[in-house]
Amino acid sequence: MSIHGYLFCERCKVNPKEVYGPFGESCLEVHHCKTTVSRMDEDHVTDLEDLQVLCANCHRIVHKELREQGNWLNY
């Protein structure tokens, strides 16, 4: 946010405040790119480079793609 001044989906580039109004940012979610949450150890430390801001739609598509590709098991 400090770079662009607003939050947006890093996949589809939508600015949800422009589309949905003042509460649009509530449809943004954080995706862990490198580590599956279900496989994280209790003492796992997440780096910012492992996170991606996605709109809810893109987040679901990413998880569907990963399941279909067999990249992540035990969802």
Alpha-carbon distances, residue 8 vs 1, 16, 34, 54, 74 (angstroms): 9, 7, 20, 7, 29
Residue 5, domain member (yes or no): no
Show the domain range for 38.
16-69
Q: What is the pTM of this model?
A: 0.78
74 part of a folded domain: no
Count of the separate structural domains present in the chain: 1
Query: Does residue 26 belong to any structural domain of this protein?
Result: yes
Please indicate, yes or no, if residue 11 is contained in any of the structural domains.
no
Q: Can you give the pLDDT at residue 45?
A: 86
Whether residue 8 lies inside any domain: the answer is no
Question: Which burial class, exposed, middle or buried, applies to 20 when counting CB atoms under 10 A from its CB (0-12, 13-18, 19+)?
Answer: middle
Residue 7, in any domain of the structure: no
pLDDT digits (tens, 9 = 90+) for 27-50: 999 999 877 787 888 888 888 888
